[in-house]
Amino acid sequence: MTKFSFNHGIGRVFIHTVFWIAYIMFFFFQYQLMDKKYDPIGTLGSLTLTAFVDIAAAYFTVYFLLSKFLFKKKYIQFSIYFLLSAAVAILLQRVILYYISDPLFYPEHNKTMGSFWHINPFYTFFNIYTVVGFFTSIKLLKYWYKNQQLKAELEEKNKSSELALLRTQINPHFLFNTLNNIDTLIGTDTEKASDAVIKLSEIMRFVLYEVNSDSIALEKEIDYLESYISLQSLRMRNKYFVSFENKTQNCRGLTIAPMIFIPFVENAFKHGLKNIVAPGIEIFLDCNDGCINFEVINRFSELDEQNKDKTKGIGIENAKRRLELLYPKTHNLEITKHKGVFKVKLKIRTKKN
């Protein structure tokens, strides 16, 4: 069974027909109420005949001039053809009134009309193009709404594509750094290297099964973060080198984008000074009123930073872009570097499951 729709086929014809009938009847009753001397049949006949000009002008403007010229930004051509079509419509209505409508329905009035060119073009234009303006407004509104929908869909597709690309960058980047760490341990402590491989397998399980999700439970992200810190800490001589203060025990139900904190922690391990009094890296995590607060502090050598390659790694920039896409206007990221201290403060307003 064919589904009835007002937007296509029979449904559209029906609604347009109803509109034009209502349009004619509106003026019919208006004329009848204004002056009883108007013959009802003559009034209805005259309005119906002149309505054909209104209908032609409306559809020509909306379905030809707008589509062919205005929507394609051909404004000069649109203006020329609009003025020409308006002139034709004014003359055509005069032809109908002078040669058909008045002689047929109001012969006594026809005698006082004067010559054919005795015409007020502005008055006639207003009569015809009031309804044309109404139709045009609807068409322009629909065109704008459709463009907004297409724009939103395109932005969403671009956002999804960019996020997918950023996710593909996360895994190789993380794996590359971790394998480098394990390679270092193999030459110095095989037992720690073995533990590192086990930790890596746990982490990769998370990466394979969770990283493609839009969001995960905050508890899972914290478990992953702790595993990552443990893995990185295996190559540290001081087991207290990293301080992780987790105060999210009462934050059940909150969700977060997977691996959103890791780039900042990874950066701290990569650039932080190793030969200082513990803790060399401080990590804080808590939440309140639906906001997750994350902070990482590490010490670095300003002299080493000046001598290093100035090219930025993908980690921090990747994280910034993901935050912009995933938490627009609902996150605040502050990164400061002052007197050998690198500090990251991140606040995210997130949702509950």
Instruction: Encode pLDDT of 271-314 as tens digits.
Output: 777 666 668 899 999 998 889 999 999 887 766 555 454 444 56
Residue tagged 């973060």 (tokens): 225
The last residue of a domain, from among 86, 119, 152: 119
Q: Which residues contact 60 (CB under 8 A, 6 or more apart)?
A: 85
Contact between 242 and 281 (Cβ < 8 Å)? yes
Give the Cα separation of 243 and 233 in Å (integer).
11
Give the Cα separation of 269 and 233 in Å (integer).
9
Same domain for 189 and 99? no
Residue type, 180: N
Domain count, the chain: 2
Same domain for 56 and 192? no
Give the Cα separation of 38 and 44 in Å (integer).
10
* pLDDT score for 59: 93
Residue range of the domain that includes 183: 162-349
- Other beta carbons within 10 angstroms of residue 120's beta carbon come to 10
User: For the residues 33-51, what does the mean pLDDT come to?
Assistant: 78
3-state secondary structure of 264: helix
Same domain for 276 and 170? yes
* pLDDT score for 8: 61
Same domain for 170 and 111? no
| 52 belongs to a structural domain | yes
Same domain for 196 and 108? no
The last residue of a domain, from among 89, 119, 149: 119
Contact between 292 and 254 (Cβ < 8 Å)? yes
Q: Which residues contact 243 (CB under 8 A, 6 or more apart)?
A: 278, 279, 281, 282, 283
User: Quick one: tokens of 134?
Assistant: 């109404």
Same domain for 255 and 334? yes
**The model's pTM:** 0.55
**Among candidates 272, 278, 208, which has minimal Cα distance to 243?**
278
Same domain for 53 and 201? no
| 191 belongs to a structural domain | yes
Q: Which residue has the higher pLDDT, 110 or 138?
A: 138
Tell whether the torsion through CA atoms of 252, 222, 169 and 263 is positive or negative: positive
* pLDDT score for 331: 94
Give the Cα separation of 177 and 109 in Å (integer).
95
Same domain for 171 and 65? no
